[in-house]
Amino acid sequence: MEYIFGPVLSRRLGLSLGVDLLPHKTCNLDCVYCEIGRTASLTCKRGILAPEEKVLREIASCSGYEFDHLTFAGSGEPTLSASLGRCIRRAHELTEKPVAVITNSTLLTDPLVREEVAAADLVLPSLDAATEPTFQKINCPSPTIRIADVIDGLCRFREEFDGEMWLEVMLVKDYNQEEAPLIAKAAEEIGPDRIQLNTVVRPPSEPVLPLSREEMLEMLDIFPGAEVIPDWDWQVPELMKAELLELLYTRPRQVDEIGELLGLKIDDLMKYLNILEGEGLLGRRMQKGSLYFVAPRGDNRGFSNEL
């Protein structure tokens, strides 16, 4: 199938059957933490980017699949697809499962986009900044987008949308953690049903670092009532820790290779790597645009942030 992916186990949506209406990495942001790489096409222009009837046929063909949500997400920002509203509405006819949209929130400034997205049962917008300098630094937006407008669009959407709204805040070390109180204030104004705090757990497009467990838990004081997105058990099983370090002692390795060698899913592996990195047992470096993890033996740990 070309436009459907999964079902995949999502930390927020359970078993999620994904619908991707975009060519690879089409977005109006170029977030430093993006797990699908640098934005290939930085644009705010909406268009028909996938053949609607084919997408709908693919959704219909998944009627026998088990999943918890049908989720519009994928290779970029789904609201850039001018087919989104029609596809959501038709998807309701094709499945009884709740329809979700994951969005970076930027086009919710547009009443038409708000109306289209409001056809979903569950909307998961994101907000990583409250001031323009931080927005520029972490989300690297298309030139016409302003964070004040984005927050205003989110407030309007909340007023107009009856369904569930779960606001995600991605916290990145040295990028937006200082701004957390202002983001929390904006989130309070928006009034989502849930606030979900996240940090970098998958290979990012830029060499950025996650917040530690302690820092994430401290954030719960700044965002009252928020939740840290589940899936963190904050511990690496001893045997797994030994196997991981042994592998990385021999040479730097990329995430895919480590996952394959240890038979681990990327999500679990990234969680373990982040924890061991936080403990100072390994580090990461960029080589020719690719991310590698390294673990020098003994005292020879000159890897910290060698990116």
DSSP-based three-state secondary structure for 179: helix
d(CA 163, CA 224): 22
- 7 upstream amide cis, omega within 30 of 0: yes
Q: Looking at 49, 62, 77, 172, which residue binds ligand SF4 (CB under 6 A)? A: 77
Q: How far is the CB of 186 from ligand SF4 (least distance, A)?
A: 17
DSSP-based three-state secondary structure for 86: helix
Given the complex with ligand SF4, which of 42 and 245 has the nearer CB atom? 42
Size of the site for ligand SF4 (CB under 6 A): 10
Given the complex with ligand SF4, which of 29 and 258 has the nearer CB atom? 29
Q: How far is the CB of 39 from ligand SF4 (least distance, A)?
A: 5
Q: Give 130: exposed, middle or buried? Use CB within 10 Å, 0-12, 13-18, 19+.
A: buried
Given the complex with ligand SF4, which of 62 and 176 has the nearer CB atom? 176
Q: How far is the CB of 76 from ligand SF4 (least distance, A)?
A: 5
Residues 181-210 that bind ligand SF4 (CB under 6 A): none
Given the complex with ligand SF4, which of 13 and 31 has the nearer CB atom? 31
Given the complex with ligand SF4, which of 62 and 147 has the nearer CB atom? 147
d(CA 27, CA 38): 10
Q: For residue 84, state whether it binds ligand SF4 (rule: CB under 6 A).
A: no
d(CA 295, CA 304): 10
Given the complex with ligand SF4, which of 83 and 248 has the nearer CB atom? 83
78 φ, ψ (degrees, to nearest 5): -60, -25
Residues 103-132 that bind ligand SF4 (CB under 6 A): 104
d(CA 76, CA 18): 12
Q: For residue 73, state whether it binds ligand SF4 (rule: CB under 6 A).
A: no
Q: How far is the CB of 27 from ligand SF4 (least distance, A)?
A: 3
- CA distances to 56, 115, 226, 232 from 95, rounded to whole Å, are 11, 21, 31, 31
Residue 87 near residue 21 (C-beta atoms within 8 A) = yes
Q: How far is the CB of 73 from ligand SF4 (least distance, A)?
A: 9
Q: How far is the CB of 106 from ligand SF4 (least distance, A)?
A: 8
Given the complex with ligand SF4, which of 19 and 27 has the nearer CB atom? 27
Residues 11-40 that bind ligand SF4 (CB under 6 A): 27, 29-31, 34, 36, 39
Question: What is the DSSP track for 255-282?
Answer: HHHHHHHHT--HHHHHHHHHHHHHTTS-
The footprint of ligand SF4 (CB under 6 A) covers: 27, 29-31, 34, 36, 39, 76-77, 104
